Amino acid sequence: MHTLFWIGIFLATFCFMEFMAWFTHKFIMHGFLWVLHKDHHRKDHDSWFERNDAFFIFYAVVSMSFIATAVNTSFWQGWPIGLGILAYGIAYFLVHDIFIHQRFKLFRNANNWYARGIRRAHKIHHKHLGKEDGECFGMLFVPFKYFKK
């Protein structure tokens, strides 16, 4: 029974992180912390790193905090929560930074319906260079219309 709860919490956390990514992207990155996100849209920086990478650091600290709490207390739920956040961060990094933006030259030939839909949705998002008028703020779960031919 404990294992099923653990897996359920992990999966629920992973799915909840897609909502958090959407919410953070729409209301925080394209809101009051646009100063950290705008270089991601404009590419007006000289470094391989972007100010936008600060958001990864934030969620890494949140994930590590849950895991550290689980290690140091009886709050066992910190393990699946922290690992669920970590797993989403890895998935986000693989899809967003490697697959879509090609920060590392991997997955270049992926061309199935899901890959095309994710790429299309992100391309629509990036057609807006400013913080206003954005659309499609999700990452792993995007509206069905982007999967249609």
Distances (CA, A) of 130 to 35, 38, 45, 102: 11, 7, 16, 22
Residue 142 is predicted with a pLDDT of: 82
Residue 65 is predicted with a pLDDT of: 97
Burial (0-12, 13-18, 19+ Cβ within 10 Å), 39 = middle
* CB 81 within 8 Å of CB 74: no
- Answer yes or no: is pLDDT of 1 > 60: no
- Answer yes or no: is pLDDT of 68 > 90: yes
Q: Which among 64, 83, 69 has a CA at the least distance from the CA of 17?
A: 83
Q: What is the distance between the alpha carbons of residues 48 and 7, in angstroms, rounded to a whole number?
A: 36
Distances (CA, A) of 77 to 69, 85, 103, 125: 9, 12, 34, 35
- Answer yes or no: is pLDDT of 91 > 90: yes
Q: Is the pTM of this model over 0.85?
A: yes
Share of the chain above pLDDT 70, in %: 95
* CB 125 within 8 Å of CB 137: yes
- Answer yes or no: is pLDDT of 108 > 70: yes
* CB 49 within 8 Å of CB 39: no
Q: Which among 40, 33, 30 has a CA at the least distance from the CA of 103?
A: 40
Residue 14 is predicted with a pLDDT of: 97
Over range 116-123, report the average pLDDT: 84
